[in-house]
Amino acid sequence: MRGAKSAKWVAGAIVVALAATACGGGDNSAGDDMNKGKADPNGIVTAQLSEPQNPLQPANAKESQGSRVLRTIFAGLVDYEPGTGKLEYVNAESVTPNKDASEWTVKLKPGWKFHDGTPVTAKSYVDSWNWSANIKNNQTNSSWFADIVGFEDVHPEKGEPKSDKMSGLKVVDDNTFTVKLTQPVSYFAYKLGYDVWAPLPEAFFKDPKAFGEKPVGNGPYKFVSWEHNKLIKVRKFADYQGPNKAKNGGIDFKNYTTADAAYSDLRSDNVDWIEQVPTTALTSYKTDLGDRAIDQPYSAVQSIVPAFYTKQFKDIDPKVIQGLSMAIDRQTITKTVLQGTRTPADSYVAPGVLGYKKGALGDIVKFDPAQAKKLIQEGGGVPGNKIQIQYNADQDHKPWVDAVCNSIRKSTGVECTGDPKPTFQADLDARDNDQVKSMYRGGWVLDYPVNSNFMRDLYGSTAAGNTSGYSNKEFDKLSSEADKASSIDETVKLYQQAEQLLAKDMPAIPLWFYKVNSGQSKNILGKIEYGQDGDPIFDTIQVKQK
């Protein structure tokens, strides 16, 4: 009898809990109209952020968190039109190449000021680049300056730098400077949109360390405060001269420890924008948030990469890799396992980038078990009839790796297993030291929206991003030709040719393109606009008047 009694009590408790959840459940969804109401030009946007890894210096922000803040504080020379990747001038009036694109002249818009009132001049840029490239200053992004003549003097591979200035940089007058490159790069202007090229005020050089804690920029927002692990505040800079004046009063970047915590706050309107809906809420977030749910592509690609230094792939017939690619049911995996958070890849280059060609890889990325089997057979089969896919287990990769393996196993009979490494660091270690046993997971988010970024920087024989040991002289030749082309259109076309070359050679199997799965609070007017790196364009966000 006692057992029966306590069971009843437990059942009662469950009923209470269910009732409690049910009564709150209904009114969380859409309901209000996010396009109705008036904008408050001084309204503050709150956004999710994790603690930036490095001090807030433009050349030091390799990871997305620091960049997210820096991009609001600094205005670069150029920016890109979201969606098309077209170049737009911000602080620059013009960036023009000489005939063979080996020397560039940058003209600045006059009258710009840093937030501390000092003028933004050609010297602000040249000094900034020289300092950031110098190996003594340990800026993580210093290799971005490697195109400039004199880079080895400030950044030698070994030993002390010979100079603290790159000879390729010359100040012509207050608003003009020239950049000499070691070899022609037709899309050099496009590279200039990256954070690393931002100007620095005089005050920076007096005390770089203090500056990293309290940066002074030239952008639409000025820095206010940084409470570590908690909050970074930036506010609208009233005297901003650029085209992207802030439509809100400022941004509070709030720190969250988990995606679940951030999502909880979003649902109760304590934060206006979060980075990513937690995996646990992916199936329900669209009903939870209604119109306020965000599901938008950005320019990044995930692939699996054969390690060409292994016995298995050393002299492989590319047909085998093509076959493996055709054995993967991208459509189904993105829809079910990844719950629509990715779209199947159809090229090496992500959409939204200059030179992306829809369906560039043709049938190679179509799911066709019969053809897959045939190609693998024609190519002499997979050595050992077994592949492994290495990934880092500290992120959510296991489900899709298992699904990809399953798909390969079922359609071709090739044995496939995941090879998890405990952390991302361990994963990278194995890749750098050529210890990958078979294949590894690769990912790439754009640096600048030209197709070269998705090819030369990953598959060029000497490219730093090339960790698979892939090398093809013909591809190298074609890409250097493309870099020297007289116009950007020409470059893009030549790289499209190079992509066809890669399709024959298969240095990697592209799987899918990324999407932002996020949401916005009820405080925001209209839908948040996104840039191609998957981050919101903060200056365009409007806050509803209360």
Residue from 260, 476, 490, 529 touching other proteins (CB under 8 A): that is 260
Task: Map the footprint of other proteins across residues 390-419, applying CB under 8 A.
Answer: 394
If one counts every other C-beta atom within 10 angstroms of the C-beta of residue 257, the result is 9
Q: Where are the alpha helices (DSSP H) in 391-472?
A: 398-412, 424-432, 456-459
User: How many residues sit close enough to other proteins to count as binding (CB under 8 A)?
Assistant: 61
Q: Is 3 helix (H, G, I), strand (E, B) or coil?
A: helix
Residue from 65, 218, 255, 520 touching other proteins (CB under 8 A): that is 255
Residue from 105, 176, 264, 279 touching other proteins (CB under 8 A): that is 264
Under DSSP, the state recorded for 26 is: G
* Cβ 256 to other proteins shortest distance, Å: 6
Stretch of 134-142, 180-188, 341-349, 356-364 lying at the interface with other proteins (CB under 8 A): 134-142
Long-range contacts of 60-69 (CB under 8 A, 24+ apart): 60/139, 60/140, 60/141, 60/212, 61/140, 61/141, 61/195, 62/140, 62/141, 64/533, 64/535, 67/195, 67/533, 67/535, 68/253, 68/535, 69/232, 69/234, 69/253
Q: How far apart (Å, rounded) are the C-alpha atoms in residues 526 and 37?
A: 10
- Smaller CB separation from other proteins, 171 or 259: 259
SS (H, E, C) 460-499: CCCCCCCCCCCCCHHHHHHHHHHHHCCCHHHHHHHHHHHH
> By CB under 8 A, is residue 278 in contact with other proteins?
no
- Smaller CB separation from other proteins, 3 or 117: 3
- Contact between residue 412 and residue 363 where contact means Cβ atoms under 8 Å apart: no
- Contact between residue 423 and residue 383 where contact means Cβ atoms under 8 Å apart: no
> By CB under 8 A, is residue 432 in contact with other proteins?
yes
Please state the separation of Cα 367 from the chain's center in Å: 28
> By CB under 8 A, is residue 359 in contact with other proteins?
no
- Smaller CB separation from other proteins, 2 or 311: 2
- Smaller CB separation from other proteins, 329 or 447: 447
Residue from 7, 20, 172, 210 touching other proteins (CB under 8 A): that is 20
Residue from 68, 71, 155, 522 touching other proteins (CB under 8 A): that is 155
Residue from 44, 171, 428, 537 touching other proteins (CB under 8 A): that is 428
Q: How far apart (Å, rounded) are the C-alpha atoms in residues 215 and 201?
A: 10
Q: At what angle do helices 398-412 and 318-326 cross, to 10 degrees?
A: 110
Task: Map the footprint of other proteins across residues 448-507, applying CB under 8 A.
Answer: 457, 463-465
Tokens representing residue 347 in the block: 């090229």
Residue from 17, 172, 210, 370 touching other proteins (CB under 8 A): that is 17
Residue from 188, 253, 256, 448 touching other proteins (CB under 8 A): that is 256
- Contact between residue 231 and residue 253 where contact means Cβ atoms under 8 Å apart: yes
What track of x and - describes contact with other proteins for positions 305 through 344 (by CB under 8 A)? ----------------------------------------
Under DSSP, the state recorded for 148 is: B
Stretch of 68-76, 88-96, 132-140, 172-180 lying at the interface with other proteins (CB under 8 A): 132-140
- Smaller CB separation from other proteins, 60 or 542: 60
> By CB under 8 A, is residue 429 in contact with other proteins?
yes
- Smaller CB separation from other proteins, 21 or 35: 21
Any idea which residue has 């202007």 for tokens? 189
Stretch of 20-28, 173-181, 196-204, 502-510 lying at the interface with other proteins (CB under 8 A): 20-28
What track of x and - describes contact with other proteins for positions 54 through 93 (by CB under 8 A)? xx------xx------------------------------
* Cβ 61 to other proteins shortest distance, Å: 11
* Cβ 230 to other proteins shortest distance, Å: 6
Please state the separation of Cα 528 from the chain's center in Å: 18
> By CB under 8 A, is residue 257 in contact with other proteins?
yes
Residue from 34, 47, 52, 516 touching other proteins (CB under 8 A): that is 52
Q: What is the number of H-type helices and E-type strands within the chain?
A: 17, 20
* Cβ 435 to other proteins shortest distance, Å: 12
Task: Map the footprint of other proteins across residues 365-394, applying CB under 8 A.
Answer: 394
* Cβ 513 to other proteins shortest distance, Å: 15
- Contact between residue 219 and residue 72 where contact means Cβ atoms under 8 Å apart: yes
- Smaller CB separation from other proteins, 281 or 485: 281
Tokens representing residue 399 in the block: 């489900």
Please spell the DSSP secondary structure of 68-114, one letter per residue: HHHHHH---SEEE-TTT--EEESSEEEEEE-TTSSEEEEEEPTT-B-
- Smaller CB separation from other proteins, 108 or 271: 271
Q: Where are the alpha helices (DSSP H) in 26-75?
A: 64-73
- Contact between residue 196 and residue 141 where contact means Cβ atoms under 8 Å apart: yes
* Cβ 21 to other proteins shortest distance, Å: 5
Q: In 201-219, which positions are buried (b, 16+ CB within 10 angstroms) versus exposed (e)? A: beebeeebeebbeebbbbb
Task: Map the footprint of other proteins across residues 220-249, applying CB under 8 A.
Answer: 228-230
- Smaller CB separation from other proteins, 287 or 497: 287
List the Cα angle 455/456/462 in 5-degree steps: 135
Q: In 431-452, which positions are buried (b, 16+ CB within 10 angstroms) versus exposed (e)? A: beeeebebbbbbebebbbbbbb
Terminal alpha carbon distance of the chain: 59
Residues binding other proteins (CB under 8 A): 6, 17, 20-21, 23-25, 51-55, 62-63, 135-136, 138, 140, 142-143, 155-158, 209, 212, 228-230, 254-258, 260-262, 264-265, 267-268, 270, 394, 421-429, 432, 442-444, 447, 457, 463-465
